[in-house]
Amino acid sequence: MDSLVDKVAVVTGSGRGIGRSIAEALLHAGAKVVISDINEELTRQTASELNGSGGRVLGVPCNVTNTESIETLLATVSKSWERIDILVNNAGITRDSLFMRMSEDQWQAVIDTNLTSAFKVTKPILKLMSKQRYGRIVNIASTTGIHGNFGQANYASAKAGLIGLTKTIALEYASRGITCNAVAPGFIDTQMTRALGEEIINKFVERIPMGRMGLPDDIAAAVVFFAGQAAYVTGQVLEVNGGLYT
Ligand code: NAI
């Protein structure tokens, strides 16, 4: 089991929601955390709210679809901390529509933000982790990437792709002390799902064996496991879904 004390973690899309909870949980476990979000105001606000004890939180805005923005993020982190031990690819969006009505823009935006982003962010960080011969990468996928979902062809494809990326990086980097795993959340209470409205939310919840939506902290617990205790686990996808396997 690895201690998370003083490990450096980068969490993308951590201004709010699941990403913010992941950052808080890693911080609580002793890590130093980089809060990073496309929304500059959220990045600043969340970083300052979490930085209670001082010096262990860095807020750096970053758009994960933009290579220059990623380079700026890494350059800024390297001024404060020399390593990156943990990367959580969490930033994501939805642009739901039934397949026949889905525009190319809706398709591309979701592929760019949920899948290509992980390629772009992970590549330079893997270089660093390879030199360190240590790293923990956790990708936030979705049960939709495993089972599919009505109105989410773009999102299901991106998240399925992220799972393929996870398993391949796991194979290619196992010998260098780097693990790569994915958490596949079910239906979690965040602004992303609140946008669906009460009626649809209630219909979903009726189908969940545990009878409730998941909380961002439920996902954070799985990420902390992969980042800390799961030293001999790689290439895995853990569904955190209250028992809803469809
Ligand atoms: P959210 O919408 O509350 O938070 C997502 C955050 O990502 C926002 O702060 C947003 O500003 C940021 N973001 C969006 N585009 C970005 C970009 N290009 N660069 C950097 N940051 C960007 O959503 P939530 O629910 O917290 O989702 C987090 C992750 O969990 C996403 O990958 C999502 O697909 C995944 N997920 C969520 C589920 C849910 O039920 N809420 C279920 C399954 C997966």
What pLDDT was estimated at residue 105?
Answer: 98
Q: Calculate how far, in angstroms, residue 140's C-alpha sits from the geometric centre of ligand 1.
A: 9
Ligand 1: does its nearest atom lie under 6 Å from the Cβ of 208?
no
pLDDT band for 52, please (50, 70, 90 cuts): confident
Helix (H, G, I), strand (E, B) or coil at 115: helix
Helix (H, G, I), strand (E, B) or coil at 187: coil
Q: Give tens-digit pLDDT for 194-206.
A: 999 999 999 999 9
| Ligand 1 atom at shortest distance from the alpha carbon of 66 | 18
Residues 41-64 as b or e (16 or more Cβ within 10 Å = b): ebbbbbbeebbeeeebbbbbbbbb
Pairing of strands 237-240, 86-89: unpaired
What pLDDT was estimated at residue 246?
Answer: 79
From residue 125, how far is each of 20, 37, 73, 137 by CA, in Å?
20, 17, 11, 10
Rounded distance between C-alpha atoms, residue 87 and residue 68, angstroms? 18
Q: Give tens-digit pLDDT for 141-179.
A: 999 999 999 999 999 999 999 999 999 999 999 999 999
Which of 37, 42, 157 to mutate to test ligand 1, by most ligand atoms within 8 A of the CB atom?
A: 37
Averaged confidence pLDDT in the chain: 97
What pLDDT was estimated at residue 54?
Answer: 74
Ligand 1: does its nearest atom lie under 6 Å from the Cβ of 60?
no
Of the candidates 79, 73, 74, the residue with the CA atom closest to the CA atom of residue 61: 73
Ligand 1: does its nearest atom lie under 6 Å from the Cβ of 193?
yes
Neighbours of 149 (CB within 10 A): 16
pLDDT band for 84, please (50, 70, 90 cuts): very high
Q: Calculate how far, in angstroms, residue 175's C-alpha sits from the geometric centre of ligand 1.
A: 31
Q: Is the pLDDT of residue 37 over 80?
A: yes
What pLDDT was estimated at residue 53?
Answer: 62
- What tokens appear for 207 in the block? 């189908």
Region 217-243: mean pLDDT is: 98
Q: Is the pLDDT of residue 55 over 90?
A: no
pLDDT band for 22, please (50, 70, 90 cuts): very high
Ligand 1: does its nearest atom lie under 6 Å from the Cβ of 12?
yes
Region 63-70: mean pLDDT is: 98
Contact status, residue 28 vs residue 50, Cβ threshold 8 Å: no
Amino acid in the structure at residue 220: A
CA atoms within a 13 Å half-sphere pointing along the CA-CB vector of 144:
19
Q: Calculate how far, in angstroms, residue 44's C-alpha sits from the geometric centre of ligand 1.
A: 17
